A and B are shown apart, each in its own frame.
Chain A
Amino acid sequence: MLENFSFRTIVEYLPLFGQGLITTVWLSALSFVGALIVGIVLCAMNLQRGWLFRVPAKAYIDAVRATPLLAQLYFLYFGLPRLGFVLPELVVGILALSLNSGAYIAEIIRAGILSIPRGQVEASVASGMTYVQRMRLVVLPQAFKVTIPPLLGQAIVLVKDSALLSLISVSELTRAGQLLASDRFMPAEGFLTIAAFYLLLYYGLKGLAGVSSRWLGTAGART
Protein backbone atom coordinates (compact mmCIF):
# COMPACT_ATOMS: atom_id res chain seq x y z
CA MET A 1 0.00 0.00 0.00
CA LEU A 2 0.99 3.62 -0.09
CA GLU A 3 1.55 4.06 3.68
CA ASN A 4 5.07 5.35 2.97
CA PHE A 5 3.79 8.06 0.66
CA SER A 6 6.18 10.92 1.26
CA PHE A 7 4.80 14.40 0.78
CA ARG A 8 8.09 15.72 2.08
CA THR A 9 9.95 14.33 -0.92
CA ILE A 10 7.39 15.90 -3.24
CA VAL A 11 7.91 19.27 -1.58
CA GLU A 12 11.66 18.77 -1.82
CA TYR A 13 11.35 18.10 -5.57
CA LEU A 14 8.81 20.87 -6.12
CA PRO A 15 11.30 23.23 -7.86
CA LEU A 16 12.07 20.44 -10.35
CA PHE A 17 8.35 19.86 -10.98
CA GLY A 18 7.82 23.61 -11.33
CA GLN A 19 10.54 23.82 -13.95
CA GLY A 20 9.11 20.81 -15.75
CA LEU A 21 5.64 22.34 -15.73
CA ILE A 22 6.94 25.63 -17.13
CA THR A 23 8.89 23.80 -19.84
CA THR A 24 5.83 21.74 -20.77
CA VAL A 25 3.70 24.90 -21.00
CA TRP A 26 6.03 26.93 -23.19
CA LEU A 27 7.10 24.08 -25.43
CA SER A 28 3.44 23.17 -25.96
CA ALA A 29 2.59 26.81 -26.70
CA LEU A 30 5.45 27.08 -29.19
CA SER A 31 4.49 23.78 -30.83
CA PHE A 32 0.88 24.95 -31.07
CA VAL A 33 1.92 28.10 -32.91
CA GLY A 34 4.08 25.97 -35.19
CA ALA A 35 1.19 23.56 -35.72
CA LEU A 36 -1.14 26.45 -36.63
CA ILE A 37 1.31 27.60 -39.31
CA VAL A 38 1.75 24.05 -40.65
CA GLY A 39 -2.02 23.55 -40.52
CA ILE A 40 -2.90 26.76 -42.38
CA VAL A 41 -0.35 26.04 -45.12
CA LEU A 42 -1.51 22.42 -45.49
CA CYS A 43 -5.15 23.47 -45.55
CA ALA A 44 -4.49 26.13 -48.19
CA MET A 45 -2.70 23.50 -50.29
CA ASN A 46 -5.49 21.01 -49.72
CA LEU A 47 -8.22 23.42 -50.91
CA GLN A 48 -6.51 24.10 -54.26
CA ARG A 49 -8.18 22.79 -57.41
CA GLY A 50 -4.94 21.66 -59.07
CA TRP A 51 -3.43 18.37 -57.95
CA LEU A 52 0.12 19.73 -57.70
CA PHE A 53 -0.42 21.07 -54.15
CA ARG A 54 -3.47 19.09 -53.15
CA VAL A 55 -2.05 15.59 -53.55
CA PRO A 56 1.13 16.11 -51.46
CA ALA A 57 -0.90 17.83 -48.72
CA LYS A 58 -3.41 14.96 -48.62
CA ALA A 59 -0.63 12.36 -48.59
CA TYR A 60 1.12 14.16 -45.75
CA ILE A 61 -2.07 14.44 -43.67
CA ASP A 62 -2.91 10.75 -44.19
CA ALA A 63 0.65 9.64 -43.39
CA VAL A 64 0.67 11.60 -40.14
CA ARG A 65 -2.79 10.41 -39.11
CA ALA A 66 -2.03 6.75 -39.78
CA THR A 67 1.23 6.55 -37.78
CA PRO A 68 1.91 7.07 -34.06
CA LEU A 69 3.51 10.27 -32.81
CA LEU A 70 6.19 8.26 -31.03
CA ALA A 71 7.35 6.71 -34.33
CA GLN A 72 7.33 10.17 -35.93
CA LEU A 73 9.35 11.52 -33.02
CA TYR A 74 11.96 8.75 -33.36
CA PHE A 75 11.98 9.26 -37.15
CA LEU A 76 13.11 12.86 -36.63
CA TYR A 77 15.27 12.13 -33.59
CA PHE A 78 17.29 9.35 -35.24
CA GLY A 79 16.84 10.56 -38.81
CA LEU A 80 17.71 14.27 -38.77
CA PRO A 81 21.37 13.78 -37.71
CA ARG A 82 21.77 11.56 -40.74
CA LEU A 83 20.72 14.45 -42.97
CA GLY A 84 23.32 16.61 -41.24
CA PHE A 85 20.95 18.40 -38.85
CA VAL A 86 22.23 17.83 -35.34
CA LEU A 87 19.59 19.64 -33.26
CA PRO A 88 19.00 19.70 -29.50
CA GLU A 89 16.33 17.23 -28.29
CA LEU A 90 14.03 20.07 -27.34
CA VAL A 91 14.03 21.46 -30.89
CA VAL A 92 13.42 18.01 -32.37
CA GLY A 93 10.51 17.58 -29.94
CA ILE A 94 8.89 20.90 -30.82
CA LEU A 95 9.36 20.15 -34.51
CA ALA A 96 7.72 16.71 -34.16
CA LEU A 97 4.76 18.09 -32.19
CA SER A 98 4.23 20.93 -34.69
CA LEU A 99 4.40 18.66 -37.73
CA ASN A 100 2.08 16.12 -36.08
CA SER A 101 -0.57 18.52 -34.76
CA GLY A 102 -0.39 20.56 -37.95
CA ALA A 103 -1.94 17.70 -39.91
CA TYR A 104 -4.90 17.53 -37.51
CA ILE A 105 -5.29 21.32 -37.45
CA ALA A 106 -5.36 21.39 -41.27
CA GLU A 107 -8.39 19.11 -41.15
CA ILE A 108 -10.06 21.22 -38.43
CA ILE A 109 -9.65 24.42 -40.47
CA ARG A 110 -10.85 22.69 -43.63
CA ALA A 111 -13.97 21.45 -41.86
CA GLY A 112 -14.54 25.01 -40.63
CA ILE A 113 -14.29 26.51 -44.10
CA LEU A 114 -16.41 23.80 -45.71
CA SER A 115 -19.10 24.29 -43.05
CA ILE A 116 -19.97 27.69 -44.55
CA PRO A 117 -23.18 27.27 -46.56
CA ARG A 118 -22.72 27.66 -50.32
CA GLY A 119 -25.39 30.33 -50.34
CA GLN A 120 -23.13 32.62 -48.32
CA VAL A 121 -20.37 32.39 -50.90
CA GLU A 122 -22.80 32.77 -53.80
CA ALA A 123 -24.38 35.81 -52.14
CA SER A 124 -21.00 37.45 -51.72
CA VAL A 125 -20.15 36.73 -55.35
CA ALA A 126 -23.47 38.26 -56.37
CA SER A 127 -22.69 41.33 -54.26
CA GLY A 128 -19.59 41.83 -56.40
CA MET A 129 -17.00 41.05 -53.71
CA THR A 130 -13.47 40.12 -54.72
CA TYR A 131 -11.92 36.82 -53.58
CA VAL A 132 -10.03 38.55 -50.75
CA GLN A 133 -13.11 40.45 -49.55
CA ARG A 134 -15.17 37.28 -49.69
CA MET A 135 -12.64 35.37 -47.60
CA ARG A 136 -12.02 38.20 -45.16
CA LEU A 137 -15.56 39.46 -44.66
CA VAL A 138 -17.74 36.40 -45.21
CA VAL A 139 -16.02 33.02 -45.05
CA LEU A 140 -13.25 33.37 -42.46
CA PRO A 141 -15.24 35.16 -39.71
CA GLN A 142 -17.83 32.39 -39.81
CA ALA A 143 -15.24 29.61 -40.12
CA PHE A 144 -13.34 31.09 -37.16
CA LYS A 145 -16.37 30.57 -34.93
CA VAL A 146 -16.65 26.87 -35.82
CA THR A 147 -12.91 26.31 -35.57
CA ILE A 148 -12.03 27.67 -32.12
CA PRO A 149 -13.54 24.90 -29.94
CA PRO A 150 -11.90 21.98 -31.81
CA LEU A 151 -8.63 23.93 -31.95
CA LEU A 152 -8.67 24.16 -28.16
CA GLY A 153 -9.39 20.42 -28.10
CA GLN A 154 -6.30 19.90 -30.23
CA ALA A 155 -4.32 22.08 -27.80
CA ILE A 156 -5.32 19.71 -24.99
CA VAL A 157 -4.17 16.73 -27.07
CA LEU A 158 -0.90 18.50 -27.79
CA VAL A 159 -0.14 19.17 -24.12
CA LYS A 160 -0.74 15.50 -23.33
CA ASP A 161 1.32 14.37 -26.33
CA SER A 162 4.23 16.50 -25.17
CA ALA A 163 4.76 13.91 -22.40
CA LEU A 164 6.32 11.66 -25.06
CA LEU A 165 9.24 14.08 -25.34
CA SER A 166 10.46 12.70 -22.02
CA LEU A 167 11.41 9.56 -23.97
CA ILE A 168 14.04 11.53 -25.91
CA SER A 169 15.14 13.06 -22.58
CA VAL A 170 13.67 16.54 -22.88
CA SER A 171 13.42 17.75 -19.29
CA GLU A 172 9.70 18.54 -19.20
CA LEU A 173 7.06 17.57 -16.64
CA THR A 174 6.99 13.80 -17.20
CA ARG A 175 10.79 13.68 -17.14
CA ALA A 176 10.70 15.36 -13.71
CA GLY A 177 8.41 12.57 -12.48
CA GLN A 178 10.71 9.92 -13.96
CA LEU A 179 13.70 11.49 -12.20
CA LEU A 180 11.99 11.35 -8.80
CA ALA A 181 10.87 7.78 -9.52
CA SER A 182 14.35 6.59 -10.42
CA ASP A 183 16.48 8.69 -8.01
CA ARG A 184 14.50 7.86 -4.89
CA PHE A 185 12.57 4.78 -6.04
CA MET A 186 9.35 6.69 -5.44
CA PRO A 187 7.21 6.12 -8.55
CA ALA A 188 3.96 6.88 -6.70
CA GLU A 189 5.15 10.29 -5.55
CA GLY A 190 6.65 11.13 -8.93
CA PHE A 191 3.89 10.03 -11.27
CA LEU A 192 0.90 11.02 -9.14
CA THR A 193 2.32 14.52 -8.76
CA ILE A 194 2.84 15.02 -12.48
CA ALA A 195 -0.62 13.57 -13.16
CA ALA A 196 -2.01 16.28 -10.87
CA PHE A 197 -0.09 18.96 -12.76
CA TYR A 198 -1.35 17.68 -16.13
CA LEU A 199 -4.91 17.70 -14.78
CA LEU A 200 -4.39 21.35 -13.82
CA LEU A 201 -3.46 22.16 -17.42
CA TYR A 202 -6.33 20.01 -18.73
CA TYR A 203 -9.00 21.70 -16.62
CA GLY A 204 -7.55 25.11 -17.47
CA LEU A 205 -7.81 24.48 -21.21
CA LYS A 206 -11.16 22.76 -20.86
CA GLY A 207 -12.51 25.75 -18.97
CA LEU A 208 -11.21 28.01 -21.73
CA ALA A 209 -12.92 25.81 -24.34
CA GLY A 210 -16.19 26.05 -22.40
CA VAL A 211 -15.96 29.83 -22.09
CA SER A 212 -15.08 30.25 -25.76
CA SER A 213 -17.90 28.04 -26.99
CA ARG A 214 -20.41 29.92 -24.85
CA TRP A 215 -18.96 33.18 -26.07
CA LEU A 216 -19.09 32.08 -29.70
CA GLY A 217 -22.43 30.35 -29.28
CA THR A 218 -21.22 27.04 -30.73
CA ALA A 219 -21.37 23.48 -29.48
CA GLY A 220 -18.77 22.37 -26.94
CA ALA A 221 -15.31 21.13 -27.88
CA ARG A 222 -14.72 17.42 -28.28
CA THR A 223 -11.28 16.37 -27.18
Chain B
Amino acid sequence: MIWQQLQSLAGSYPLALRGLGMTVMLSLISLVLGTLLGFGLGILRTGGNRLISGLIGAWVDLIRGTPFLVQIFLIFFILPEFGIELDAFTAGIIALTNLAACFICEIVVAGIRSVPTGQVEAALASGLSRLQRMRQVVLPQAMRIVLPPLVGQYVLLIKDSSVVSAIGLTDLTRVGWLVVQRVPNGLLVFFLVGVGYFIVCYPLIMLARRLEQRMGAAHGEVQL
Protein backbone atom coordinates (compact mmCIF):
# COMPACT_ATOMS: atom_id res chain seq x y z
CA MET B 1 0.00 0.00 0.00
CA ILE B 2 2.81 2.40 0.88
CA TRP B 3 4.35 1.45 -2.48
CA GLN B 4 1.21 2.51 -4.32
CA GLN B 5 1.17 5.76 -2.41
CA LEU B 6 4.79 6.45 -3.26
CA GLN B 7 4.05 5.80 -6.92
CA SER B 8 1.09 8.11 -6.79
CA LEU B 9 3.22 10.75 -5.09
CA ALA B 10 5.95 10.39 -7.69
CA GLY B 11 3.24 10.96 -10.31
CA SER B 12 2.34 14.33 -8.81
CA TYR B 13 5.84 15.75 -8.82
CA PRO B 14 5.18 18.16 -11.74
CA LEU B 15 2.40 19.64 -9.60
CA ALA B 16 4.79 19.90 -6.65
CA LEU B 17 7.37 21.67 -8.80
CA ARG B 18 4.75 24.12 -9.99
CA GLY B 19 3.73 24.74 -6.41
CA LEU B 20 7.31 25.34 -5.35
CA GLY B 21 7.74 27.67 -8.34
CA MET B 22 4.65 29.61 -7.31
CA THR B 23 5.91 29.92 -3.72
CA VAL B 24 9.32 31.12 -4.87
CA MET B 25 7.87 33.57 -7.38
CA LEU B 26 5.36 35.06 -4.91
CA SER B 27 8.06 35.45 -2.28
CA LEU B 28 10.65 36.84 -4.66
CA ILE B 29 8.43 39.51 -6.22
CA SER B 30 7.02 40.70 -2.91
CA LEU B 31 10.47 40.52 -1.34
CA VAL B 32 11.93 42.95 -3.88
CA LEU B 33 8.91 45.28 -3.87
CA GLY B 34 8.54 45.07 -0.10
CA THR B 35 12.21 45.90 0.50
CA LEU B 36 12.06 48.98 -1.73
CA LEU B 37 8.81 50.17 -0.19
CA GLY B 38 9.97 49.32 3.32
CA PHE B 39 13.18 51.33 2.99
CA GLY B 40 11.21 54.25 1.53
CA LEU B 41 8.71 54.18 4.39
CA GLY B 42 11.46 53.81 6.97
CA ILE B 43 13.39 56.81 5.63
CA LEU B 44 10.20 58.89 5.43
CA ARG B 45 9.26 57.91 8.96
CA THR B 46 12.54 59.15 10.40
CA GLY B 47 12.43 62.21 8.13
CA GLY B 48 11.09 64.63 10.73
CA ASN B 49 7.66 65.36 9.25
CA ARG B 50 5.33 64.59 12.15
CA LEU B 51 2.21 64.02 10.04
CA ILE B 52 3.83 61.63 7.59
CA SER B 53 5.66 59.71 10.26
CA GLY B 54 2.48 59.46 12.35
CA LEU B 55 0.48 58.14 9.39
CA ILE B 56 3.13 55.55 8.54
CA GLY B 57 3.33 54.51 12.20
CA ALA B 58 -0.44 54.05 12.39
CA TRP B 59 -0.53 51.99 9.18
CA VAL B 60 2.35 49.78 10.32
CA ASP B 61 0.56 49.20 13.62
CA LEU B 62 -2.66 48.23 11.83
CA ILE B 63 -0.80 45.69 9.72
CA ARG B 64 1.22 44.32 12.62
CA GLY B 65 -1.90 44.05 14.76
CA THR B 66 -4.03 41.92 12.45
CA PRO B 67 -3.52 38.35 11.20
CA PHE B 68 -2.14 38.05 7.68
CA LEU B 69 -5.02 35.76 6.73
CA VAL B 70 -7.50 38.54 7.54
CA GLN B 71 -5.44 41.02 5.49
CA ILE B 72 -5.56 38.72 2.48
CA PHE B 73 -9.31 38.29 2.80
CA LEU B 74 -9.75 42.05 3.10
CA ILE B 75 -7.70 42.74 -0.03
CA PHE B 76 -9.17 39.91 -2.08
CA PHE B 77 -12.82 40.42 -1.16
CA ILE B 78 -13.12 44.13 -0.42
CA LEU B 79 -11.03 45.91 -3.06
CA PRO B 80 -13.48 44.66 -5.74
CA GLU B 81 -16.18 46.66 -3.96
CA PHE B 82 -14.15 49.76 -4.79
CA GLY B 83 -14.13 48.71 -8.42
CA ILE B 84 -10.64 47.16 -8.35
CA GLU B 85 -10.95 43.62 -9.69
CA LEU B 86 -8.02 41.47 -8.61
CA ASP B 87 -6.99 37.96 -9.50
CA ALA B 88 -5.70 35.84 -6.65
CA PHE B 89 -2.06 36.24 -7.70
CA THR B 90 -2.14 40.05 -7.69
CA ALA B 91 -4.03 40.08 -4.40
CA GLY B 92 -1.40 37.77 -2.92
CA ILE B 93 1.45 39.97 -4.15
CA ILE B 94 -0.20 43.12 -2.79
CA ALA B 95 -0.84 41.52 0.60
CA LEU B 96 2.67 40.08 0.91
CA THR B 97 4.37 43.26 -0.30
CA ASN B 98 2.42 45.37 2.14
CA LEU B 99 3.22 43.02 5.02
CA ALA B 100 6.92 42.91 4.16
CA ALA B 101 7.09 46.70 3.71
CA CYS B 102 5.58 47.33 7.15
CA PHE B 103 7.95 45.00 8.99
CA ILE B 104 10.98 46.18 7.00
CA CYS B 105 10.00 49.80 7.72
CA GLU B 106 10.35 49.07 11.45
CA ILE B 107 13.71 47.37 10.92
CA VAL B 108 15.01 50.32 8.89
CA VAL B 109 13.77 52.84 11.47
CA ALA B 110 15.61 50.95 14.22
CA GLY B 111 18.74 50.92 12.04
CA ILE B 112 18.63 54.64 11.25
CA ARG B 113 18.00 55.53 14.92
CA SER B 114 21.04 53.47 15.92
CA VAL B 115 23.37 55.82 14.02
CA PRO B 116 24.84 58.29 16.57
CA THR B 117 23.56 61.88 16.19
CA GLY B 118 27.17 63.07 16.08
CA GLN B 119 27.48 61.40 12.68
CA VAL B 120 24.50 63.31 11.30
CA GLU B 121 25.73 66.55 12.82
CA ALA B 122 29.18 66.02 11.33
CA ALA B 123 27.58 65.38 7.93
CA LEU B 124 25.55 68.57 8.31
CA ALA B 125 28.64 70.52 9.29
CA SER B 126 30.46 69.15 6.22
CA GLY B 127 27.71 70.67 4.11
CA LEU B 128 26.28 67.40 2.78
CA SER B 129 22.79 67.59 1.33
CA ARG B 130 19.93 65.55 2.79
CA LEU B 131 20.29 62.90 0.11
CA GLN B 132 24.07 62.68 0.48
CA ARG B 133 23.70 62.47 4.24
CA MET B 134 21.29 59.55 3.97
CA ARG B 135 23.16 57.76 1.20
CA GLN B 136 26.75 58.24 2.32
CA VAL B 137 26.61 58.58 6.09
CA VAL B 138 23.45 57.22 7.70
CA LEU B 139 22.40 54.22 5.60
CA PRO B 140 25.82 52.53 5.32
CA GLN B 141 26.12 52.58 9.11
CA ALA B 142 22.49 51.60 9.64
CA MET B 143 22.91 48.55 7.39
CA ARG B 144 24.89 46.81 10.11
CA ILE B 145 21.83 46.84 12.35
CA VAL B 146 19.37 46.33 9.48
CA LEU B 147 20.88 43.38 7.63
CA PRO B 148 20.48 40.42 10.05
CA PRO B 149 16.78 41.03 10.87
CA LEU B 150 16.13 41.86 7.20
CA VAL B 151 17.21 38.37 6.14
CA GLY B 152 15.15 36.96 9.02
CA GLN B 153 12.20 38.91 7.66
CA TYR B 154 12.65 37.26 4.25
CA VAL B 155 12.29 33.86 5.91
CA LEU B 156 9.07 35.01 7.56
CA LEU B 157 7.85 36.29 4.20
CA ILE B 158 8.44 32.95 2.47
CA LYS B 159 6.60 31.19 5.26
CA ASP B 160 3.74 33.69 5.22
CA SER B 161 3.33 33.14 1.49
CA SER B 162 1.80 29.76 2.41
CA VAL B 163 -1.27 31.62 3.71
CA VAL B 164 -2.22 32.79 0.19
CA SER B 165 -3.28 29.20 -0.49
CA ALA B 166 -6.45 30.25 1.37
CA ILE B 167 -7.59 32.31 -1.64
CA GLY B 168 -6.90 29.42 -3.99
CA LEU B 169 -3.38 30.05 -5.29
CA THR B 170 -1.64 26.78 -6.06
CA ASP B 171 1.49 27.28 -4.01
CA LEU B 172 3.44 24.52 -2.26
CA THR B 173 1.04 24.27 0.69
CA ARG B 174 -2.00 24.16 -1.60
CA VAL B 175 -0.35 21.39 -3.64
CA GLY B 176 0.05 19.38 -0.44
CA TRP B 177 -3.61 19.96 0.33
CA LEU B 178 -4.61 18.80 -3.16
CA VAL B 179 -2.39 15.74 -3.12
CA VAL B 180 -3.54 14.62 0.30
CA GLN B 181 -7.09 14.31 -1.07
CA ARG B 182 -5.85 11.60 -3.45
CA VAL B 183 -3.06 10.06 -1.40
CA PRO B 184 -4.45 9.74 2.12
CA ASN B 185 -1.12 9.93 3.91
CA GLY B 186 -0.95 13.36 5.53
CA LEU B 187 2.28 12.63 7.39
CA LEU B 188 4.22 11.80 4.25
CA VAL B 189 2.67 14.47 2.02
CA PHE B 190 3.15 17.36 4.43
CA PHE B 191 6.56 16.09 5.46
CA LEU B 192 7.55 16.50 1.80
CA VAL B 193 5.92 19.94 1.67
CA GLY B 194 7.95 20.84 4.75
CA VAL B 195 11.13 19.63 3.05
CA GLY B 196 10.35 21.95 0.13
CA TYR B 197 10.10 24.98 2.42
CA PHE B 198 13.12 23.87 4.42
CA ILE B 199 15.28 23.80 1.30
CA VAL B 200 14.33 27.40 0.52
CA CYS B 201 14.33 28.81 4.06
CA TYR B 202 17.15 27.07 5.86
CA PRO B 203 20.03 28.65 3.88
CA LEU B 204 18.51 32.06 4.64
CA ILE B 205 18.27 31.24 8.36
CA MET B 206 21.94 30.25 8.33
CA LEU B 207 22.80 33.46 6.50
CA ALA B 208 20.90 35.54 9.08
CA ARG B 209 22.80 33.82 11.91
CA ARG B 210 26.14 34.30 10.20
CA LEU B 211 25.38 37.99 9.56
CA GLU B 212 24.33 38.46 13.16
CA GLN B 213 27.63 37.07 14.40
CA ARG B 214 29.70 39.06 11.91
CA MET B 215 27.87 42.32 12.42
CA GLY B 216 27.99 41.79 16.17
CA ALA B 217 31.76 41.32 15.98
CA ALA B 218 32.16 44.40 13.78
CA HIS B 219 30.08 46.38 16.22
CA GLY B 220 32.33 45.25 19.08
CA GLU B 221 35.43 46.45 17.24
CA VAL B 222 34.00 49.90 16.74
CA GLN B 223 33.03 50.22 20.37
CA LEU B 224 36.50 49.23 21.51
With A66-B155, A66-B202 known as contacts, the answer to whether A187 contacts B73 (CB < 8 A) is yes
Give how many A residues have a beta carbon under 8 Å from the other chain's beta carbons: 44
Of the 9-residue stretches B64-72, B114-122, B124-132, B136-144, which lies at the interface with chain A?
B64-72
Range of interface residues on B (Cβ < 8 Å):
35 or more
Contact of B186 among A1, A74, A194, A198 (CB under 8 A): A74
- Evaluate contact between B70 and A66: CB separation under 8 angstroms: no
- Evaluate contact between A81 and B186: CB separation under 8 angstroms: yes
Contact of A68 among B62, B160, B202 (CB under 8 A): B160
List, in ascending order, chain A residues with CB within 8 A of B83's CB: 1
- Distance in Å from the Cβ of A19 to the closest Cβ of chain B? 17
Q: How far is the CA of A191 from the CA of B82 in the complex (A)?
A: 15
Q: How far is the CA of A166 from the CA of B64 in the complex (A)?
A: 19
Q: How far is the CA of A80 from the CA of B185 in the complex (A)?
A: 10
- Evaluate contact between B163 and A70: CB separation under 8 angstroms: yes
A67 at the interface (CB under 8 A from B): yes
Q: How far is the CA of A83 from the CA of B188 in the complex (A)?
A: 12
Look across to chain A and name the residue whose beta carbon is closest to the beta carbon of B62: A199
A192 at the interface (CB under 8 A from B): yes
Among A62, A63, A74, residue most surrounded by chain B Cβ atoms (within 10 Å): A74
Interface string of A162-184 (1 = CB under 8 A from B): 11101100000010011001000
List, in ascending order, chain A residues with CB within 8 A of B190's CB: 71-72, 74-75, 78-79
Could you jot down 22 A-B contacts, CB within 8 Å?
A1-B82, A1-B83, A63-B198, A65-B155, A65-B205, A67-B197, A68-B159, A74-B193, A75-B190, A75-B193, A75-B194, A78-B189, A79-B185, A82-B187, A160-B66, A162-B67, A174-B69, A178-B73, A181-B73, A191-B77, A191-B78, A202-B66
* A interface residue numbers (CB < 8 A to B): 1-2, 62-63, 65-72, 74-75, 77-83, 160-164, 166-167, 174, 177-178, 181, 187-188, 191-192, 194-195, 198-199, 202-203, 206, 223
